[in-house]
Amino acid sequence: MTTSAGTWEPSPRERERRALRRERSRRDVLVATVAAVVLLGGLLAALLLSPGWPTVRSSFLSWPDAKAAFPSVIKGFLKYNVVGFLIAEPVILLIGASVAVVRSSTSAAMFSVRVLAVVYTDVFRGLPTFLVVIVFGLAIPGLRLQGVTTNTFWLGLAALCLCYGAYVAEVFRAGIESIHPSQVASADTLGLTRWQAMWYVVLPQATRRVTPPLLNDFISLQKDTALLSAIFVFDGLFAAQDYAAYHFNYTPITVVGVLYLLLTIPLTRFTDVMLRRALRRQFAGAR
């Protein structure tokens, strides 16, 4: 392997082969392009030629309405949807990971906490998120408890955290259980405590393995911040509906949709890149 690559010249057969591969990849690109144009063109034609297209266009894609509604929509979107998501995400990760770790613990002292964790995941995974948000946003202020906020944004956010925490806990648990017992055994032989084994050995591997479903849940969470509009938080969707109610035009809804896509798609791409890098490191040269 110390031979230098410098002196070597490809043989005629290899040149031929490379030309063949190049030609092939050119053909693949061509096929892909043609297929994409045909498919997108067809969809576009179906849309533009549909009988109701002019009406739909004026009520969902009107530029003046988009411009007029944009300031209040973006304000609500940034202030509540984005901020809410950014606060909820770390909280949910923490809840999910802790509950999962508790559920996979085996010590007797943790028994009651384990039962609590099971009940929590069962209940909050079983209830519609919408319902939990409504109950938190409307019933809790109704109790007039001392020291509990009546701000529906925070209450709604707490509801989202609890619901998503339950989902994420199950995702983490699946990840933890997928790590081979031999990993725990080798951590044991090194003298690590059960918690150390979990923290340094199992959880890092489990997290990597469950990153795609975690991301799935987080994208879902980003979208579900719109549920806050049900308890009168003036978020992006609420602002858009507000505008629609006054001006009989739904374009702001489209604007919110675009904003959501601008938020979720880059995150997906980013995670894909991270994951690929991690995989390359872990499975280097062992295809």
Partner 1 sequence: MNAQSDGCLLQVTDLRKTYGDKVVLADVDLSVRAHDVICLIGSSGSGKSTLLRCVNLLEDIDDGVIVFEGSEISDPRVDRRAVRSRMGMVFQSYNLFPHLTVLDNCTLATRRVHGVPKNEAEQRAHDLLSRFGLADQAEKHPDRMSGGQQQRAALVRALCTRPTLLLLDEITAALDPELVGEVLTIVRELAEQGTTMILATHEMAFARDIATTVCFLDEGRILEQGPPAEIFRNPREDRTRRFLARVLG
| Inter-residue long-range contacts of 232-236, CB under 8 Å, 24+ positions, other chains counted | 232/137, 232/152, 233/80, 233/152, 233/153, 233/156, 234/76, 234/80, 235/76, 235/77, 235/79, 235/80, 235/81, 235/84, 236/73, 236/74, 236/76, 236/77, 236/80, 236/81
CA 66 – CA 59 distance, rounded (Å) = 10
Whether the CB-CB separation of 207 and 216 falls below 8 Å is answered with no
- CB nearer to partner 1: give 7 or 112: 7
- CB nearer to partner 1: give 114 or 209: 209
Q: Given the rule CB under 8 A, which of 10-18, 40-48, 115-123, 204-212 is the region that contacts partner 1?
A: 10-18
State the nearest-atom distance from the C-beta of 184 to partner 1, in Å. 16
Tell whether residue 212 is a contact of partner 1 (CB under 8 A). Answer: no
Binding mask 42-71 for partner 1 (x = CB under 8 A): ------------------------------
Using only C-alpha atoms, what is the Rg of the chain? 26
- CB nearer to partner 1: give 11 or 146: 11
By residue count, the chain amounts to: 287
State the nearest-atom distance from the C-beta of 22 to partner 1, in Å. 10
Eight-class DSSP state of 179 = S
- CB nearer to partner 1: give 11 or 112: 11
Tell whether residue 283 is a contact of partner 1 (CB under 8 A). Answer: no
- CB nearer to partner 1: give 150 or 178: 178
Tell whether residue 11 is a contact of partner 1 (CB under 8 A). Answer: yes
Cβ-Cβ contacts under 8 Å for 72 (sequence gap 6 or more): 239, 242, 243
CA 238 – CA 182 distance, rounded (Å) = 52
**Two tokens at 240?**
């858009």
Cβ-Cβ contacts under 8 Å for 206 (sequence gap 6 or more): 172, 175, 176, 178, 179
User: In Å, how far from its chain's centre is CA 104?
Assistant: 25
Q: Given the rule CB under 8 A, which of 13-21, 116-124, 154-162, 186-194 is the region that contacts partner 1?
A: 13-21
Binding mask 110-139 for partner 1 (x = CB under 8 A): ------------------------------
Per DSSP, the three-state class of 90 is: helix
Tell whether residue 5 is a contact of partner 1 (CB under 8 A). Answer: yes
State the nearest-atom distance from the C-beta of 18 to partner 1, in Å. 9
Number of residues located near partner 1, criterion CB under 8 A: 15
**21, 57, 269, 280: which one contacts partner 1 (CB under 8 A)?**
21
Binding residues (CB under 8 A) for partner 1: these are 1-5, 8, 10-11, 13-14, 17, 20-21, 24, 287
